[in-house]
Amino acid sequence: MEKRPLGLTGLDIAPIVFGGNVLGWTIDEKTGFDVLDAFVDHGFNAIDTADVYSTWAPGNKGGESETIIGRWLRARPGMRERVHIFTKVGWDLGVPGKKGLSRKWILQAAEDSLSRLGIERIDLYFSHRPDPETPCEETLAAFDQLRKEGKVRAIGASNFDAAQMEHALDVARRNDLPAYQVVQPEYNLYDRASYDGALRDLCLREGLGVVTYYSLASGFLSGKYRTESDLSQSQRGKGIGKYLNPRGMAILAALDRVARAHDATDAEVALAWLIARQGVTAPIASATRRAHVESFARAAALCLSDEEIRMLEMAGQPE
């Protein structure tokens, strides 16, 4: 599978990143191993997770996803050399002191993640969210220390807007500190405001990599959820109800039309649109069974015409 350069990180990745938020939440370890095997077998090579995954599931405390990935890597000799591991720090783990982007917490959190993952270096370490209580200089200095120690290769920022990214890049330049090289915004055919516009322009100007999350709008863009009664199909149903409106239905209608023309699924078309989007390196997408990974491979190979892309974008224009 053709790889793409991830900004200026030196990493080359396939055009879809595995979303590890499902590990230890909607799929158990055994199923997770099977899905990750299929992901690599199809030529994909980047896995995204976070220390906070999945605190929201009953009985979980965080670190479950990283732990499953670590066990999978240990059970597959040679696999570490085949995949790039992304993880994040900064979200509230629900324990005093275990949140934010202070130097103290970043250094401890990195060690915790490395231990759970069973690896010596994180390929791409994200600030999971902005931390208004910690100076950017302190955060970047902590990342600088981790890079010099060989524990982190590249750094990125998730949930930062254009102004926050611009400030972070300026701080890095003024203080001779490592700059964020990748952004991770929420972005899909429905939710476009956080990337389109100023952030996209900044990423293109600075050569930043872009990996999008909620790439299928929590599953809405799969086309499986069209009525309130459909929401009970998934544990994620509660977060999908907001899309059941005229604009959402118009987007699904456009996806249906393009999907029929390619004998594809709505999800494959939605991912193909993202893959073709200006500045986007790769969307993050979660899979809970092998069939989903097979669908990812079809999406990565799907070429949409300019007319189809325009039709999808017009249907998804914010009101």
Q: What is the overall mean pLDDT for the chain?
A: 96
Q: Is 94 helix (H, G, I), strand (E, B) or coil?
A: coil
pLDDT of 318: 59
Place of tokens 């009664």: 229
**Max Cα–Cα distance, the chain, nearest Å:** 55
20-79 pLDDT, tens per residue? 999 999 999 999 999 999 999 999 999 999 999 999 999 999 999 999 999 999 999 999
Q: What is the rounded average pLDDT of the residues 198-209? A: 98
CA 97 distance to own-chain centroid: 25
157-192 pLDDT, tens per residue? 999 999 999 999 999 999 999 999 999 999 999 999
pLDDT of 77: 97
> What are the residue ranges spanned by the domains of the chain?
4-222+267-304
pLDDT of 319: 56
pLDDT of 179: 98
Burial category of 125 from C-beta neighbours within 10 Å (exposed 0-12, middle 13-18, buried 19 and up): buried
Q: Which helix (H) or strand (E) holds 86?
A: strand 84-89
> Measured between alpha carbons, how far is residue 209 from residues 11, 156, 214 in Å?
10, 9, 17
Q: Is 293 helix (H, G, I), strand (E, B) or coil?
A: helix
90-127 pLDDT, tens per residue? 999 999 999 999 999 999 999 999 999 999 999 999 99
Query: Rounded to two decimals, what is the model's pTM?
Result: 0.96
230 pLDDT more than 80: no
CATH value of 4-222+267-304 in 3.30.70.20, 3.40.50.2300, 3.20.20.70, 3.20.20.100: 3.20.20.100
* H helix intervals, the chain: 29-41, 64-74, 103-117, 136-148, 162-175, 198-206, 246-262, 266-276, 290-301, 306-315
Q: Which helix (H) or strand (E) holds 210?
A: strand 209-212
238 pLDDT more than 80: no
Burial category of 315 from C-beta neighbours within 10 Å (exposed 0-12, middle 13-18, buried 19 and up): buried
What does 167-206 look like in DSSP terms, one character per residue?
HHHHHHHHHT-PPP-EEE-B-SSS--TTTTTHHHHHHHHH
Phi-psi region of 242 (alpha: psi -120 to 50; beta: other; left: phi over 0): alpha
Neighbours of 281 (CB within 10 A): 25
256-272 pLDDT, tens per residue? 999 999 999 999 999 99
236 pLDDT more than 90: no
- Assign 229 a pLDDT band (cuts: 50, 70, 90): confident
pLDDT of 234: 66
